[in-house]
Structure 1
Amino acid sequence: MPHIALDENLPGISALFAYRPETAAPLKQLAEVLLRGPSSLSVGERELISAVVSRGNDCTFCSRSHAAIAAEALEGGMPVVEAAWADVDGAPVSAKVKALLHVALAVREGGKSVGEDLIAVARAEGATDVEIHDTVLIAAAFCMFNRYVDGLATIAPDDQEAYQGMGARLLQEGYTRL
């Protein structure tokens, strides 16, 4: 049960965006730029970063919704996301993406957990400074989004299938159309 009066027909951050449209606009724009804007990382790779960070933060709504988008965007679909959730190093993604996921998970623990060793590995695997920057910002933003969604106890279906339509729609339409 949400801690504040939210539209019970809207899950997760959707209910919060409806509740405070004036704060929703910049948050949606941030998500749009980070996850959909121009980047050498694919939409699927960036969505995978958000899904893995959200899973690490135990945020059901964010991990499942971004997993659905990543699954739509990545070759291999949901099994790739599930593999990354279980073991980044065993996931069927590039070595660069694995290194960036490790950076993102360190950000999830705390900003100072991102050490030179993680950055050196990411660079050795071909990550650019912009990709490292964006990975850190995606991870930091999703820590905020996760705490926003769970801090107000929004409704979050636990069944991954409930998020499939949302994932396809968000991949098609982006975040500013929410």
Structure 2
Amino acid sequence: MAHIRLNNEELPGIIGLMDYNRHTAKPLNELAEVLLRGDSTLSSAEREIIASSVSYKNNCHFCHTSHGAAAVAHMNASADLIDDIKAGLQNYEVSAKLRALLNIAHKVQQGGKYVLDEDIDKARVEGATDVEIHDTVLIAAAFCMYNRYVDGLGTWAPQPKEAYLEVGKKLAYEGYTSF
């Protein structure tokens, strides 16, 4: 049970919080839409992987699994991708650039000052642009906020990854402002 009385206790994670307060939901959903589906040289799948990975590092099951499920939908992949994100993408092939950007995202998750010049240099060597580095840092920082919002209010989350596949499709194909 959430720490506050939500409008609909049946809605999990951030979905219940968005339903609770439409005034805060609107800008939060718009930010997610821009970060994860807006114009970018990073694919939506890559950006969802960053969001999912940071959320896993923050121990936010709902966000990790729902954004992992969105990556599954974008990549037309198996639900096993969600577990592989937890394992550091050992089974799914991703670019060296995405791995370098994930390294930066994980450093941001620990604290912004953990990002070092050599982390940025490595990402650039792997082909990351300044815009991609910027967007990675912003996605990681935003998901630290989203994760703390979801878990700080004690929302509930279904455990099986399969329970997230439909919401992942909705996020991938309809976006964040459709909620």
TM-score, normalising length from structure 1?
A: 0.95
How do 1:69-88 residues align onto structure 2 when only pairs under 5 Å count? 69-74=70-75, 76-88=77-89
Q: 1:153 to 1:21 in 2, by over 3 A?
A: same
* Alpha-carbon offset, residue 124 of structure 1: 0.3
Q: 1:132 to 1:89 in 2, by over 3 A?
A: farther
**1:100 and 1:143 mapped to 2: Cα distance?**
16
Q: Which residue of 1 aligns with 2:15?
A: 14
Q: Secondary structure at the match of 1:156?
A: coil
Residue deviations 1:12-35 (CA, integer Å, cap 9, x gap): 101111111101100000000000
**2:103 and 2:175 mapped to 1: Cα distance?**
26
Q: 1:92 to 1:82 in 2, by over 3 A?
A: farther
**2:99 and 2:83 mapped to 1: Cα distance?**
14
Q: CA contact under 8 A between 1:51 and 1:63: conserved in structure 2?
A: yes
Counterpart code for 1:2: A
Residue deviations 1:130-159 (CA, integer Å, cap 9, x gap): 000000000000000000000000011111
Structure 1 unpaired stretches of 5+: none
Q: Which residue of 2 aligns with 1:45?
A: 46
**1:120 and 1:77 mapped to 2: Cα distance?**
33
**1:162 and 1:148 mapped to 2: Cα distance?**
21
Q: Which residue of 1 aligns with 2:67?
A: 66
Q: Secondary structure at the match of 1:96?
A: helix
Q: CA contact under 8 A between 1:80 and 1:91: conserved in structure 2?
A: yes
Q: CA contact under 8 A between 1:45 and 1:74: conserved in structure 2?
A: no
Q: Which residue of 2 aligns with 1:142?
A: 143
Structure 2 unpaired stretches of 5+: none
* Alpha-carbon offset, residue 74 of structure 1: 2.1
**1:95 and 1:78 mapped to 2: Cα distance?**
23
TM-score, normalising length from structure 2?
A: 0.95
**1:76 and 1:165 mapped to 2: Cα distance?**
14
Q: Which residue of 2 aligns with 1:162?
A: 163
**2:175 and 2:52 mapped to 1: Cα distance?**
16
Q: Which residue of 2 aligns with 1:127?
A: 128
How many residue pairs get matched? 178
Q: Secondary structure at the match of 1:68?
A: helix
Q: CA contact under 8 A between 2:79 and 2:161: conserved in structure 1?
A: no
Residue deviations 1:67-116 (CA, integer Å, cap 9, x gap): 10011112544444432321257752000000000000000000000111
Q: Secondary structure at the match of 1:39?
A: coil
**2:178 and 2:116 mapped to 1: Cα distance?**
37
**2:90 and 2:133 mapped to 1: Cα distance?**
18
Cα RMSD (Å) of the superposition? 1.3
Q: Which residue of 2 aligns with 1:57?
A: 58
Q: Secondary structure at the match of 1:66?
A: helix
